[in-house]
Amino acid sequence: MIIAQYDRSAQLTAELERIEQAHELDPALLHGGIFTRAYTAFFSADLGTAQRLLESLVPAEHEQSVFHANLPGRALALGHLACVRWVVGDPDRALEEAVATIDLAVSLEIPILQALCHIVRARLRYLRRDPLPIVEQEAQLAVRAASVDIGLLTEASAFALWAQAQRGPLALTTIEPLLDSLRQRLTAVSTCSTLVAQVLIDVLRISGHVTEARQLTDEILAFALAHNESVYLPELLRMRGEQRERTEPEAAERDYREAIELAHATGARSLELRAADSLTKLGGARPRRKARF
């Protein structure tokens, strides 16, 4: 899970489920097993399973559950559930849950949990493309909170750099330290690298570094396919399509259509809508072909 070998996880997660069903486990152990299965399902784009499992870890007050007393576990699961909500097309509920996650983490006074929860909210602000001042503020909060963990700090810094690039193009030398951190991450704690990469692809493109943006896009697409970190694959295909529009419009169209089909098949409604919008804009920008009779 941590090194993003989702392509090799099916047997292990199935074994976890069998253990959960066959034994009466300590609630903390049970929570850990269910969360692991949910996390793996999310990044493998099995969104229905991820949502169902994470919802079981954040029971409502009136629901009977062994997980009510596990507040750190609730914060962890609720933050990841918020990410699932956005991908499946419920951005407002996603943000509500992200806010609730931070409130809970602050009350628990666990620094690493607070850092993770701030990262989740920064993710959502970026994914929603909320107004720039809001994204900037969330990114700055995430950077301060994430100083306790180098992996989280890399992601938080990527959001902060994206916000900075919105104000004006950045020199490649300003971006390169985070590109180096990402590439190191791909060989170690590589989970969620597809999201960090798309942020940096955006930064490179905004700043006019077209060749480097395309190189990183191809690199991270290969990583996503090799590791089955598929949840953000439609967005990466859409981003490659954008980069191809001017020189390879037909290839761009294929990328958009593939992104739409993949997002639709996995239930990633937000990503499906974004790819469909790109395809519509491409159709409007391209000259119509004359019909043949």
pTM above 0.95, yes or no: no
| Cα angle 170-171-175, degrees, rounded to a multiple of 5 | 80
State how far the alpha carbon of 77 is from the alpha carbons of 192, 202, 232, in Å.
16, 28, 19
Asked if 54 contacts 233 with a C-beta cutoff of 8 angstroms, the reply is no
Q: Measured between alpha carbons, how far is 193 from 269 in angstroms, rounded to an integer? A: 21
Task: Kindly report the three-state secondary structure assignment for every residue of 22-63.
Answer: HCCCCHHHHHHHHHHHHHHHHHCCCHHHHHHHHHHHCCCCCC
Residue 29 confidence class, pLDDT cut points 50, 70, 90: confident
Q: Which of 63, 103, 23, 87 is nearest to 274 (CA)?
A: 87
| pLDDT surpassing 90 at residue 292 | no
Residue 2 confidence class, pLDDT cut points 50, 70, 90: low
Which tokens hold the place of 113?
Answer: 């949990």
Which tokens hold the place of 285?
Answer: 């920008």
Q: pLDDT by residue (tens digit) across 52-80?
A: 999 999 999 999 898 999 999 999 999 99
Please state, for a pLDDT cut of 70, what percent of the chain lies above it.
91
Q: Measured between alpha carbons, how far is 112 from 145 in angstroms, rounded to an integer? A: 8
Fold of the 6-15+24-59+66-169 domain: 1.25.40
**pLDDT score of 1:** 54
Q: Which of 211, 231, 233 is nearest to 222 (CA)?
A: 233
| pLDDT surpassing 50 at residue 98 | yes
Q: pLDDT by residue (tens digit) across 217-270?
A: 999 999 999 999 999 999 999 999 999 999 999 999 999 999 999 999 999 999
**pLDDT score of 54:** 97
State how far the alpha carbon of 274 is from the alpha carbons of 168, 182, 232, in Å.
24, 25, 12
